[in-house]
A and B are shown apart, each in its own frame.
Chain A
């Protein structure tokens, strides 16, 4: 008769076996092992998620996007923009709306479709009426703050978990084919939680989250960071698909910081 394996010992064996498997899985979804994005034709529907934050984060983000547009970025290629703002940050929400209005005005005669969705709503975008020239659509999603300014780092994990829950809801409240294609962030703690949420979804491949072109992440370290990364930057440097810095002293940070000059 076979020796009887006690339950605690069996559990230990399982955990020991799982660790390498989980590690391999994690490594597979992170750079440099994550496969490059699948090729995509311009004009197909895309969803860009832009994270705004208090203080200079929003100012820098909008300055960067305006410069990108000036250097040839076509908003028509980024058909749907989701602007993520922290709860209470009405200034950032207003700036996002203002930016979208500018985008529409720059393509003369176009209008931007405004879907002001809260995190609990989901609407499929209407089809444009015949003859209507639209520069895509946008919505503004609101997230509870991961950390308030001056908040003690001891209580931050609690508020961060609450924020994480809502990140899942924002990212996966739409059918899998509409996970954001690209997440763009430049530093607020909210962005870190959101990117972490996207990693968890991809790790477990929830509703096909682990595809090559889904939820790719671009992180731009703040222009205010000259010699040292921010806390968000340190947490994300090995985890995002592209990591950009704006001062030469940070080029190559984490083995992968890319320096293309000042972007703001």
Chain B
């Protein structure tokens, strides 16, 4: 089976393919090399992707989908993974994410956007691959790198751009900002600035789905939650606490790790004792999968499986997506620590180019179709900017609004109405 052949490749591969440099991830699997050559020396890692892909062992009951897919793609006659409509939908979503983020960079440097802005360029395959499989009632919880998650989930580009400009027509009326995108309608629960903060919140949303089904007796409630977070977060205590509780209570959640190898300037390998994050899943009793996050079709296959598991009530899954961000951590990051060779390596694996190639090679779409989509998205993004530009800034009265859901903050009386509306409440006496 796959795993047997993988195992065979694990011990031989690095020697033959990488004669000049020490091993990368597979430190525990090969004969020990001096640690000093490896730790902190990020230049030597991330070589050919094929050696990387064959190294991971699958854990849990999920099939090694990404290898299967990879082998399928190399054959000339095989069934296609997507239909034309799906392909175009995926392409459009990724182009929207890319064009939007590029426009954000432009707007930031022109002073229209301010504060902390974290762009998602290069990681679109993860967002599109996962979120396009969700229903509207399913939830997505993200980190500060949330613009594209919002767009994939269905929040209009206009609303996101206005929010970034700080205008009152934004999805949070300008009160949240780049890092705090919330949408009740699209079930986007943020947008959290503290890494690791979104994971328990996502677990809670999954908990509610189960609670609604079991206690509130909404028998068909099968909402799934996706929690997106990065490699740095996987060293945080809350991550482990939630893996434990999600597996313990069998919650309908998928933990999606967007492993882009860098937490601002801290390389994942310098920060983590065992860099293979997917292995942490089985430690808590859930399957852990590693997938090539630069390939939207592979991500989509894995996502289908994981989301299906959650929907059927079989519990959580941990999916590690190997991906890369083309830009710095944020627009204020000079991005000096990353090796240009590494960046070039991943730029060559641009998910959008890969999907485009796939669609054209398999005759699912023509160049003209794709160019039309490019043009359409350009217009959408330009329109979003215009809309945001023309929108008004929040009025002064908005400053003090919405601190509490209960308008004056005095609670609800026994008759179920707001206390502050009760004339007796505001009269002289302090007694009840």
A and B pair up: no
